[in-house]
Amino acid sequence: MAVRVYRSIRDLDEALTSARRAGRSIGFVPTMGALHLGHRSLIDRSAADRKSEKGLTVVSIFVNPIQFEDKTDLDGYPRTFEADIALCEDAGANIVFAPTVAEMYPEDFSCFVDTESDATRRLCGRARPGHFRGVLTVVSKLFHIVKPTHAYFGEKDAQQLFLLRKMVRDLNMDIQIIGCPTVREADGLALSSRNKRLSEQERAAALCLRRALEAGRSDAERLRFGRDARAISDAVESAKASMSETVEAESSARLDYAEMLDAETFDAVSETTNRILLAIAAFFGETRLIDNLTADIDFGGNADESQ
């Protein structure tokens, strides 16, 4: 059955009304298009989860202008709508919602979702002021429009996933947020819509991100020797230095950040940390890429990588 494409909020709502009234679950995959196998894995997961209960999978395709602080970056974001529709259909999506900017943001639009916390100011929030304001606003709008029971996001965007879970909890949204593992190329590069903008040389250099994370993880294993503040501080600084040096050794790379945080709180690693997040971002030419891995810390044992 062909995937149905809706451009207006009203038409989408009418299409989903009967499913909601029947109590069918609705899985939702928000995207900005330029879909790749990472997005495909999210759609596949939603479609598989819905199969036994005859639910629906909805995919949104919308390049959200308010999360871009650089208009050049917005204008250069890849748009591959026809290929995206084909991928959605092949993966088992039932509906694609592809609104215009005017549909999502009328001229008198003035309400935004703001969050003020250390989690917002770290990592990508520090490098891209206003980015998460735009992300949380558009996802909140999409949640209210689609009214999904479940929503699927990739773990590559770890900070985004953390903040979306917090938004759902803080605003009492009745939606289950499901994080799905990062999908990688055979050589370890995390899939991203932005990879299409890399030159051959930049694509080769981008492999340093995964190497940097692995180097940081090796240093993070020092945490197994104890929870005292000095040991933790030494391990964190060593991990950050190893990640930074690995990226800076690539002439085509420009480091944005290399950090090690508590994966469950996005606070600094402390004596109570049981799971760490190693996160990195760098520019390759004009293209900014991010990656991360998490590891459970067994004090007195080992650090076990989980992605």
Helix %, strand %, coil % of the chain (to 5): 45, 20, 35
Domain 4-180 top-level CATH class: alpha beta
- Please list the pLDDT of the chain residue by residue as tens digits (307 residues): 689 999 999 999 999 999 999 999 999 999 999 999 999 999 999 999 998 878 999 999 999 999 998 898 899 999 999 999 999 999 999 999 999 999 999 999 999 998 878 888 889 988 788 899 999 999 999 999 999 999 999 999 999 999 999 999 999 999 999 999 999 999 999 999 999 999 999 999 999 999 999 999 998 887 765 668 888 888 899 999 999 999 999 999 999 999 999 999 999 998 888 899 999 999 999 999 999 999 987 655 555 655 6
Query: pTM, whole model, 2 decimals?
Result: 0.93
Instruction: Please tell me if the domain spanning 4-180 has the same topology as the one spanning 198-301.
Output: no
Q: Say whether 144 is catalytic.
A: no
Domain 198-301 top-level CATH class: alpha beta
What is the SS3 assignment for 201?
helix
Q: List the chain domain ranges.
A: 4-180, 198-301
* Type and span of the H or E element at 241: helix 229-248
CB neighbour class for 71 (10 Å; exposed up to 12, middle 13-18, buried from 19): exposed
Please tell me which residue in 39, 131, 144, 150 is annotated as part of the active site.
39
Sign of CA dihedral 63, 65, 70, 71: positive
